[in-house]
Chains A and B, each alone.
Chain A
Amino acid sequence: MFDYAMIPEIIPLGAILFNFLFILIAIPLEAYILNKRLKFDKRTSTFYAISINLLSNAIGWIVFFLLEPLLAIPLKSELISYIFFAHFLSTKIQMLMILTAFIIFFGTFLLKVLFLRLLLLSLTDFQKSEPASTSQRFNLRRSQKLKLQNTNLATTVLIANALSYSAIAMILFLIPKQL
């Protein structure tokens, strides 16, 4: 990064507020789904919802900052046109937008599942040790139960993600094109 003016002439206040709005909408929706399907109590599911949303949001921003210098000039000028003037230059951009939307949706879904697993792991009590069991059938049942839990986790996060993204998409379509 070269040395550019330190005093910002433009602040992306609208973009930051929209970001905050998306997070604010996603958190209660996802907390509700986590509570209903995975049977966490309200406080824990709120914590999980807040953390996975904030963390995946941060990772998303970081990916954006890594990709932005690599964009070709026509793509970059579309991006600049959207951020500054709230519309796109060419109509051919629709296909790319849909592709990007898919990638973003599934990317955040994978990130959220990953972070939820990590958080579940990090919040276990490390002092208590697992009871030792020797029965073969018990182990088999336990591994099946773990697999079912994993699938259940992924499905729940998928549903929660889909719900919050639908809410976000509805809001995005309500942005007036020319203020």
Chain B
Amino acid sequence: MQVLKDIFGLFNIFEDIYARIKKILVPPKAYSWQTLIYLSVFSLLMSWLSNGFVRDAIAFCGWLFLIAGTAWYTTDNPLLVPGTNMPVGALITGFLISTFAFRHQENIITTNTIVFWPTISALITAIPEFFEGTGTDVNPQIPKLEDRQKIIILIASSLVISCCLQFTFVVNKWYQEYPSLRLDKIPRTFVMKIVPSTKVPRNGIVILEKLELRIEQQILDRPWSEVEQWLLDAKQRVANLGRQVIETNLREYEEKSLWQVEPRIYNLKSGYKLDLLSIWTGPSLSGRGYYFQKSCRIDPIAKSTNDKSVIAEIDCGRISKPILGPPPSAQ
């Protein structure tokens, strides 16, 4: 008997839930917010089925219905964000308007959406104060004295919050444009890393790799006198080649003008040692920059056993780990 009663009790709970959901979802009359939400869902579905201009127009209407419906639902009995006079509904409506205004072809949410969201929510909170009366007969008015102070402070603080959000995105943009910053550990004074970096920045390394190829082209298998002539003029030539390499490979990064390429030449008993340096002159933890180094040996060899003419051979080692501090000065 008891078990049967419990089962009926469970059924009652389900009926209760069903009644509540029905009350929310079914519009009591035609002129209510649920109608607008259903209209917007309908429009968005229809826009999927069409193409081109019609699609854009219907999707546009769909967004408008969604915004209007949410605004209506949330202004009936406002639930306030704790500590402020901003209804939670204004946050939601503000988010929708922000998404609608700043949407893009690829992403629905862009950075502008997040940045403008608090300001738009505050403006939405302020707008009802400019109208007195309820329902459909409304007159514009200047808001009352006590409310003016609250509105002004709300709008001002939401502006500051928006600016802080935008600053976050600007700092992240810098972090992407200047990947060579990731080499150093960033102290936690002003910024904080929340995603641990996995990849070592490769810009300095890439420069040296590509540079090696070009220098090999110019030195390998050339007559020895030509190579010695080349080495006399090395600073200029390496700088030019380096500039070409940087322009081709680091084209999309803003940090490309902070990389410099220099050679260091040392005389050996036979032949020369050519060190290629890619130097980072930008921000770093120590303040003195760092550089990568690739050491190459250039030796004269005979072309073949028959031919006695001397040509050059070049052999480069691996790229070093980043070396802190400014590079050794040239002799």
Does A130 sit within 8 A of B, measured CB to CB? Answer: no
B191 cross-chain contacts in A, Cβ below 8 A: 10-15, 83-84
Known: A47-B149, A51-B156, A179-B189. A8 touches B169 (CB 8 A): yes
Q: Do A3 and B189 touch (CB < 8 A)?
A: no
Known: A9-B193, A84-B283, A125-B145. A68 touches B170 (CB 8 A): yes
Does A126 sit within 8 A of B, measured CB to CB? Answer: yes
A136 cross-chain contacts in B, Cβ below 8 A: none
Q: Do A54 and B187 touch (CB < 8 A)?
A: no
B162 cross-chain contacts in A, Cβ below 8 A: 58
Known: A58-B156, A85-B184. A9 touches B285 (CB 8 A): no
* Contact residues of B: prevailing secondary structure: helix
Known: A65-B166, A84-B181. A14 touches B190 (CB 8 A): yes
Q: Do A11 and B194 touch (CB < 8 A)?
A: yes
Q: How large is the interface on B (under 10, 10 to 19, 20 to 34, 35 or more residues)?
A: 35 or more
* Contact residues of A: prevailing secondary structure: helix
| Interface members, chain A 80-138 (any B CB < 8 Å) | 80-89, 119, 122-123, 125-126
* Binary CB contact string for chain A from 145 to 156 against chain B (1 if under 8 A, 0 otherwise): 000000000000
A11 cross-chain contacts in B, Cβ below 8 A: 168, 171, 191-192, 194
Q: Which residue of B lies closest to A177 (CB)?
A: B189
> Quick one: which of A1, A10, A62, A78 contacts B171, CB cutoff 8 A?
A10
| Interface members, chain B 168-188 (any A CB < 8 Å) | 168-176, 178, 181, 184, 186-188
Does B112 sit within 8 A of A, measured CB to CB? Answer: yes
In the bound assembly, the distance between CA atoms of A175 and B194 in angstroms comes to 22
Q: Known pairs A14-B192, A58-B163, A80-B174; list 16 more (Cβ under 8 Å).
A: A1-B110, A9-B194, A9-B195, A10-B186, A11-B191, A12-B167, A12-B190, A14-B188, A14-B190, A19-B164, A54-B159, A54-B160, A77-B282, A77-B283, A80-B178, A84-B191
Residues of A within 8 A of B (CB): 1, 3-16, 18-19, 23, 47, 50-51, 54-55, 57-58, 61-62, 65, 68, 73, 77-78, 80-89, 119, 122-123, 125-126, 175-176, 178-179
**8 A-B pairs with the lowest CB-CB distances in the bound complex, closest first:** A81-B283, A61-B163, A54-B156, A58-B159, A14-B190, A86-B189, A9-B195, A15-B190
